[in-house]
Amino acid sequence: MDKVELIATCNFGVESVLKEEIINLGYDIRKVEDGRITFMADLRGIALANIWLRTAERIHLKMGEFRATSFEELFQNIKKIEWEKWIKKSSIFPVKKAVSIKSRLHSTPDVQAITKKAIVERLKLIYKVDWLEETDDEYPIYVFINKNDVTVTIDTSGESLYKRGYKERQSEASIKETLAALMVMLTPWKAERELIDPFCGAGTILIEAAMIGLNIAPGLNRKFPFENWSQIDKEDLKSIKKQAFNGIKNTLDFKLQGYDIDENVLKIARENAENAGVSDYIHFQKRDMREISSNKKYGFIITNPPYGERIEVEETVEVLYKDMGKAFRKLETWSFYIITSYENFEKVFGRRADKKRKLYNGMLKTNLYKFLGPKPPRQVRSDVK
Q: Is residue 168 part of a domain?
A: no
pLDDT at position 214 is: 97
Q: Is residue 10 part of a domain?
A: yes
Q: Is residue 102 part of a domain?
A: yes
The full DSSP string for 122-190 is HHHHHHT-SS----S-B--EEEEEETTEEEEEEESSSS-TT--S--SS--TTPPPHHHHHHHHHTS---
pLDDT at position 281 is: 97
Is residue 13 within 8 A of residue 358, CB to CB? The reply is yes
| List of residues 6+ apart from 187 with CB closer than 8 A | 300, 302, 335, 337, 370
pLDDT at position 385 is: 43
pTM of the model: 0.93
pLDDT at position 377 is: 86
Summarised one tens digit per residue, pLDDT across range 62-116 is 999 999 999 999 999 999 999 999 999 999 999 999 999 999 999 999 999 999 9
pLDDT at position 307 is: 87
Q: In terms of residue numbers, what domain contains 312?
A: 177-216+224-245+253-371
Angle at 97 between CA 92 and CA 99, to 5 degrees: 150
Mean pLDDT of 250-277: 95
pLDDT at position 311 is: 52
In Å, the largest CA–CA distance within the chain is: 81
Based on the domain organization, do 151 and 259 belong to the same domain? Answer: no
Proportion of the chain above pLDDT 70, given as a percent: 96
Based on the domain organization, do 188 and 66 belong to the same domain? Answer: no
Summarised one tens digit per residue, pLDDT across range 207-251 is 999 999 999 999 999 999 999 999 999 999 999 999 999 999 988
Based on the domain organization, do 236 and 339 belong to the same domain? Answer: yes
pLDDT at position 1 is: 56
Mean pLDDT of 335-355: 96
Is residue 320 within 8 A of residue 286, CB to CB? The reply is no
Residue 309, SS3 per DSSP: coil
CATH code, domain with 196: 3.40.50.150
